[in-house]
Chain A
């Protein structure tokens, strides 16, 4: 699986939007972009995934650059419960596992 690069940490104020960036310059045409988050003392939780087009679900939105070399996870209104480590992962149709890097630790300030 191709590698992703994320900032180590980010801060946000409660009820403001949060944009979490991810760079994946070596992405291949068949790689899906997945986002997971890990709340304290819990297992990773699926957030969203996409291939080429922007995606929305009840948790977040995923904006994918036109050249697919970067993407942004958007939390529209951060809450204190969104404080977590967010992982950006690339996954093709042949990999057996997800390769989790260090992720981005998001702090939400009240």
Chain B
């Protein structure tokens, strides 16, 4: 059981380049999330999805786009990368959003923008 898988694990980009981070979950979860974590800080929500074909903005959505074409996949895109987007990106999924539902996280994508 793989859980939540993120690809790639590491990436270095130049300012202005674009890329897509892929998140895949095999738990049949409806809800998926993208967070970023900067050094010494907690996680901040970028975008989330409550089901296939739906997305919504989180706390820090600027500079990012997302798509949820299939239930098991949630893509995070950077159209024109900026050094401020250097961070570790985590994807998570959950069965629901009720208070007793835990979120399951991937191991992260470490992204550096030069």
- A residues with CB within 8 A of B: 30-32, 34, 41-46, 49, 51, 87, 91-103
B92-114 interface code vs A (CB 8 A; 1 in, 0 out): 10000111101111111000000
Q: State the total of A-B contacts with C-beta under 8 angstroms.
A: 65
Closest to B9 in A: A41
Shortest Cβ distance from residue B25 to the other chain A in the assembled complex, whole angstroms? 12
Q: Do A96 and B97 have beta carbons less than 8 Å apart?
A: yes
* Chain A interface main SS type: loop
A97 touching B45, Cβ below 8 Å:
yes
B2 within 8 A of partner (CB)? no
Q: Which residue of B lies closest to A90 (CB)?
A: B99
Are B43 and A51 in contact, with the CB atoms below 8 A? no
* Known contacts A49-B102, A97-B33: A43-B97 contact under CB 8 Å: no
Contact of A100 among B40, B43, B97 (CB under 8 A): B43
- Name the distance in Å between A71's Cβ and chain B's nearest Cβ: 14
A97 vs B43: C-alpha distance when bound (angstroms)? 10
- State whether A87 touches B58 (Cβ < 8 A): no
Does A91 contact B107, Cβ atoms closer than 8 Å? no
Q: Tell me which of A34, A87, A95, A100 contacts B102 (CB under 8 A).
A: A34
Find chain A residues with CB under 8 A from B27 CB.
none
Q: B42 to A87, Cβ gap below 8 A?
A: yes
| Structural contact, A43 and B45, CB atoms closer than 8 A | no
Query: What residues of A have a CB within 8 angstroms of the CB of B12 in the complex?
Result: none
**Cβ-neighbour of B108 out of A43, A98, A99, A101 (below 8 A):** A43
Most chain B beta-carbon neighbours within 10 Å: one of A30, A43, A96: A43
With contact pairs A97-B45, A97-B48, A98-B43 given, residues A92 and B107 touching in the complex (Cβ less than 8 Å): no
B108 close to A42 (CB less than 8 A): yes
Could you say which residues of chain A place their CB within 8 Å of the CB of B69? none
> Taking CB as reference atom, which chain A residue is nearest B108?
A43
Q: Which residues of A contact B97 (CB under 8 A)?
A: 93-96
